[in-house]
Amino acid sequence: MIRSTFYSLILATIMVATILVFNSCNKEEIETMPLGTVNVNMFESLFNNGREFYMQVQTDQTNLLTSYYIRNSINKEGNTINIQLTDIEKVDASGVNVATGPASAYINIGNITPGLYTLNIDVAGRSNQGSLSVEDNFFISIFGQTDGLSFNYDTLYRIPNGALWGYVGYQNNTYEPIALAFKDTLTDIGAVGLGLTEGNYGYFTVDEAGAYHQEINDNFTYYRQFFYSYIESKEDLTSVIEYFDIKYSQVQIVLYWVFEEGEKSVLIKPDEIIITQPVAR
C-alpha cells in the first residue's frame, strides 16, 4: 500500500538526542571532550508551531559516534543572539545502533521577525561576531574572519506558502506510468510550476540551471520528482492522495505541502509521519 508520507524535519533526531542526553544526565559524571571546528547548516523548520529558524551545528571531526552531543546554550536579548558551544558530551549510546560521524546539536533560534540581528557564536572560548539578516524571503549569515566556525552556506531561502514537492518511488520501471499519472493529477487540480530562484531551501536545493534536488530514499530504484505551487483545496489534494493510496500498491508517494493555517505556515499533517533530517548541501 502506498504510504502517503509527509516529512516533518528534524523532530526525530531532536527526540533521540533528548533521550540520549537525558540518560547521560542520570550518570554521576558527564564525560566530555574538547570541541574543535564546527560547521553550520541553517534551515527553517515548518512544524505545527509555525516557522522556526534552526542551526544544525556539526563537528568537523567525522570519526565520532553520532550520539555525541555538542553542549550549547542560547540567549536572546532584543536583536542580539548569543550562542555558546561548550564542548562535546560523549553520550552513552549503549543498546542503540549508532553510526560513526560528526557530533552535532540543533539550536532552535525560534520564530524571528524580519530585521538585522547581532549574532555572536562562541566556539569553546573562540569568539565569532557577526550578524543575521532576516528578510521575508531569506536568511543571510554575515561573518568576517571566523575562528573554529564555518557556515556551509551563508544564505537560506524561505519556502513560500503553497509549495508542494516530493517524489513517487518505485522498484520497477514498468510502474512509471503510475508516477506520471499522479503528477498529471496534481496539475489537474491546480498545481503549477514552483519557479524558485537558485539557492538552498533547507528541504531541497535549486541549482543554477533551475533543477531541483532533494533527498531520495535509497530503497527506491526509480523515482519521479515533482515541485509545484498549490494554493487550491486541501480536500482535493487529500482526495488525490487517498485515491492513489487505495488503487496502487506498487509505488510510494512522498509529499510535502506548506499551507497557511491562521498565522502559521505548516506542513500538512499526515496519518503516518516518517521523520528525516533536512537536506544539507
Give pLDDT, residue 159.
Answer: 92
Q: Which helix (H) or strand (E) holds 229?
A: strand 222-229
Which cell numbers in the block locate residue 190?
491546480
Specify which residues 156 forms β-bridges with.
Answer: 139, 200
- Answer yes or no: is pLDDT of 266 > 60: no
d(CA 174, CA 250): 10
Query: Binning pLDDT at 50, 70 and 90, where does residue 242 land?
Result: confident
The most distant pair of C-alpha atoms in the chain lies apart, rounded to whole Å, by: 61
d(CA 55, CA 77): 18
Please give the single-letter amino acid code of residue 97: N
Tell how far CA 278 is from the center of its chain: 3
- Answer yes or no: is pLDDT of 280 > 50: no
82-90 mean pLDDT: 97
d(CA 166, CA 178): 15
Domain spans, the chain: 31-157, 163-267
Give pLDDT, residue 12.
Answer: 40
31-37 mean pLDDT: 95
d(CA 268, CA 130): 35
- Answer yes or no: is pLDDT of 57 > 50: yes
What pLDDT, in 10s, does the model give residues 118-157? 999 999 999 999 999 999 999 999 999 999 999 999 999 9
- Per the prediction, the chain carries an average pLDDT of 84
Give pLDDT, residue 259.
Answer: 76
Sign of the dihedral defined by the CA atoms of residues 170, 3, 163, 47, in that order: negative
d(CA 271, CA 37): 40
44-62 mean pLDDT: 87
Cα–Cα nearest to 7, from 252, 263, 260, 262? 252
237-258 mean pLDDT: 88
